[in-house]
Structure 1
Amino acid sequence: MQTYLEFTFKIEPLQPWNEILMAELIEVGFDSFTEEHDGILGYIQKDLFTESSLQNVSLLTHPEVEISYTYSEMPNINWNEEWEKNFDPINVENQVSIRAEFHENQNLPHEIIIQPKMSFGTGHHATTYLMIQQMLDMDFEGKTVLDMGCGTSVLAIFAKQKGAGKTVAIDIDEWSVENSKENAVRNNVELEISQGTGENLGGENFDIILANINRNILISDIPTYVSVLNDGGSILLSGLCFFDVADIMEVCTQQNLNLKRQLQREEWVSLWLEK
């Protein structure tokens, strides 16, 4: 079993910064969290952690929030078992159920079954909820789709359930790629899944691009996404806080993308744009 470090982060004020901190910590290798009354507990594999990695967590030096932390080594435990204990089924607009095999069927129009491993995108996070909510109103029938930063491939699986044609799922994380392959089989859908980044794009074009990542990667990669998006195609973006929208829209406007709809859940935002 992997040895983990447990970090205790004290956050003042707690909201909305606790969710934002978790999103940034995921980007540097943290894979699970517990919310406390005055902060969060974060967990990372010991062999993945370096002190320098926290320098990439910009929120730790943000002027509007005070964050302090301590950490210690955890005893070896079965983390998949612990994760399963805390994984609850998701209901999106009474239309989509995201659940594990050990949960009861909620009998909604759409059902996505995943193995709740440590990869991001189980639907618990508000941005995944927002992406599914946007997708409910989109026409996927026969469309070519790219799920960029796919995590568990929940979004790619839902696109296929809505009738998508060829659907490509890409993630930088090897664990996410393997989990995506398992989830595709579990949901009886065919996905082209690979490990990579925006640098791997360019060989083919898409009608719909789904990107639930984070603001910095989106700002960097939106021009690449647009270059492989068919005319009249749609891009769904999330992984954004409400205060990121202006910066993201500046890049989108430069790329001649038009905003069709913006949704917000808590402090998180999703943007539906068209080329």
Structure 2
Amino acid sequence: MRELRVAEPVVDLRVLRHPTFAVATAAMFVISIAFYGIMVLSPLFTQILMGYTAMLAGLVLAPGGLATLITMPIAAALLNRVDPRWIIVTGCAVNAYAMYLMATLTLEASYWDIMLPRFIQGLGIGLTFVPLSTVALSAVPMREMGHASGLFNFIRTAGGSIGIATMATLLQRGTQVHQAQLVTHVSLYDPDVWNHYQTLADTFAARGADTVSAEAQAWASLYEMVQREALSLSFIDNFWRLAWIFAAVIPFVLLLGRRPRMAEAPADVERPATIVEV
């Protein structure tokens, strides 16, 4: 609150009095939570759950960056022709759809099954960040642009930090919850579990393990399957959360004011005086 009382604050919160800037900053905060949450979940999904190497995981995620490079200049070119709010809404909807596709993946997903949602998500990010930043800063007078830009970037970074920490925590706790639920269904008294257990034990015995070791390895394999399935369900839960976050931002984006066209000079910028020769 002290920042609101001093003449030259380090972070001038008074720029939030501009409604469009305030709404855009709040939207960027929420979108950053989801965006950086995706950034931490995607490599974990490919490497830990799917068993990809770092190189292969990078090849899965790289198309998303290429998609963003494609749509960013397109979004910038459309800013002066289309209402930016609809560009941002489209970007959020595309991101939500990409997260929906990720939430439908199974442990049998192929490289292309994972790469496609990542590419679509990259398209959505390019349609979101550029117009949202432009709309936010265009609503602020030029004399306050420095404070507004700094605050906007700070909020985006803070949202990213919260998104990374939150998604990592939810992933870990979700895995524990699903594992606790799944183990209640794993019993050697279940005919299907028993048959699978016997198949695993016979497999390890055929590889040279004694009876006790084969049974222990079979039980360990069953437990590993439960852990992997629990982790998969936790990833799915988080992808659904991210999809709903992007969808929830859309109504607030529609509250933004329309960005003035590039040809229009801001109201507080002094225009050069016209020299009239006599």
Flag whether TM exceeds 0.5 (same fold).
no
Q: Which band: TM-score by shorter chain?
A: under 0.3
Higher helix residue share: 2
TM-score by length of 2: 0.22
Higher strand residue share: 1
TM-score by length of 1: 0.22
